[in-house]
């Protein structure tokens, strides 16, 4: 049994090493990136994250959007390079130092929290070609799969004569623990959309504190999401659906999107059909529960308090 596990691990390592030797257009094979379905968000995953969003260098993840006349980011002051953007997502703790992060012509505007194997990212890329979209995933191997998948898709498009050469340059994947570090990556009102697709239901009551929707986390989503922005949720677990609806309805920064507006949103249709979990539910003839919530304007007297609370979270 031990030898069998070693053989599988060796095959995975050999496969990934071969895949990274050249600028291959071969899409990665999921079986070489398998990992446990769930990760404890309260564990110490030894993640490195920027002290503040201003110190995040997104240029490695979105090189097509780097401002050409910007200064090179290779001198002595410290700024965080994007974890998970390297060829090996596992080496995200080896961050480079720079005078300041390279500037992009656009900001990251859409976040897929717990992006899994990247199905939603890939589907959204051509639908929102002028928007930078980021997948956040805590599992090492799964993050690496998405990074390799995006790299291969970009290479394929460069060789296709009739394709848009910038296809898939607007998506990237980052290994991160969203429950702990979301305000470290995004400024106030930076995001226009947040997707929470088929999150871990954590069925046991004692594990409900690990759910990705809670009063505290909803306040962080409200901080990062601009007024008018949308949080999209989908699950196949009725209890979790009611939990998410209850907690967003109870939060003063959100209102539920009407069924009419929800059904007219093309992102909802994509979210229903393009995620790996969504396809699995479809194969088993399961039911999907969708709820979307719009970010409201902050009352003037609450704005300063909300900002101070989020900044305190970053400092901690």
pLDDT of residue 76: 44
> Per the structure block, which two tokens stand in for 316?
């901690």
Q: What is the 3-state secondary structure (H, E, C) of 130-149?
A: CCEEEEEECCHHHHHHHHHH
Strand stretches in the chain, DSSP E: 56-57, 80-81, 108-113, 132-137, 171-175, 191-197, 225-235, 254-256, 289-295
197 annotated ligand binder: yes
270 annotated ligand binder: no
* pLDDT bucket at 35, cuts 50 / 70 / 90: low
* pLDDT bucket at 75, cuts 50 / 70 / 90: very low
The listed range with the strongest mean pLDDT (63-67, 68-72, 296-300) is 63-67
Active site residue 200: yes
**Residue predicted with more confidence, 50 or 27:** 50
114 annotated ligand binder: yes
Gap between the Cα atoms of 66 and 130, Å rounded: 14
Q: Are the beta carbons of 293 and 213 closer than 8 angstroms?
A: no
Q: How many other CB atoms sit within 10 Å of the CB of residue 119? A: 23
pLDDT of residue 95: 39
- Residue 242 in this model has a pLDDT that exceeds 50: yes
pLDDT of residue 100: 76
Gap between the Cα atoms of 176 and 166, Å rounded: 26
pLDDT of residue 73: 46
- Residue 209 in this model has a pLDDT that exceeds 70: yes
pLDDT of residue 226: 97
Average pLDDT, the chain: 82
DSSP letter, residue 66: B
Q: Which of 200, 259, 261, 298 is catalytic?
A: 200
303 annotated ligand binder: no
3-state secondary structure of 208: helix
* pLDDT bucket at 297, cuts 50 / 70 / 90: very high
pLDDT of residue 91: 36
164 annotated ligand binder: no
């Amino acid at each position: 049994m031990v030898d069998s596990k070693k053989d599988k691990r060796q095959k995975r390592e050999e496969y990934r090493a071969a895949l990274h030797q050249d600028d291959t257009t071969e899409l990665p094979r999921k079986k070489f990136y398998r990992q446990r379905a769930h990760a404890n968000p309260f564990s110490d995953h030894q993640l490195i994250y920027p002290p503040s969003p201003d110190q995040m260098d997104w240029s490695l993840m979105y090189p097509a959007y780097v401002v050409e006349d910007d200064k090179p980011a290779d001198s002595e002051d410290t700024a965080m390079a994007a974890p998970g953007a390297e060829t090996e997502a596992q080496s995200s703790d080896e961050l480079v130092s720079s005078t300041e992060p390279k500037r992009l012509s656009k900001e990251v505007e859409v976040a897929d929290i717990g992006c899994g194997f990247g199905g939603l990212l890939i589907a959204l890329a051509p639908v929102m070609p002028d928007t930078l979209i980021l997948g956040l995933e805590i599992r090492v191997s799964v993050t690496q799969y998405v990074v390799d998948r995006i790299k291969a898709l970009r290479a394929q498009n460069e060789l296709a004569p009739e394709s848009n050469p910038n296809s898939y340059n607007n998506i990237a994947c980052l290994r991160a623990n969203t429950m702990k570090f979301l305000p470290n990556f995004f400024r106030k009102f930076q995001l226009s959309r947040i997707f929470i697709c088929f999150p871990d239901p954590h069925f046991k009551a004692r594990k409900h504190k690990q759910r990705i929707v809670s009063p505290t986390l909803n306040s962080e989503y409200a901080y990062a999401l601009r007024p008018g922005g949308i949080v999209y949720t989908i699950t196949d677990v009725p209890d979790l659906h009611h939990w998410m609806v209850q907690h967003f309805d109870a939060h003063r920064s959100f209102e539920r999107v009407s069924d009419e507006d929800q059904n007219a949103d093309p992102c909802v249709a994509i979210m229903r059909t393009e995620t790996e979990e969504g396809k699995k539910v479809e194969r088993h003839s399961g039911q999907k529960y969708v709820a979307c919530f719009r970010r409201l304007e902050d009352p003037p007297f609450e704005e300063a308090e909300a900002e101070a609370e989020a900044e305190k979270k970053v400092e901690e």
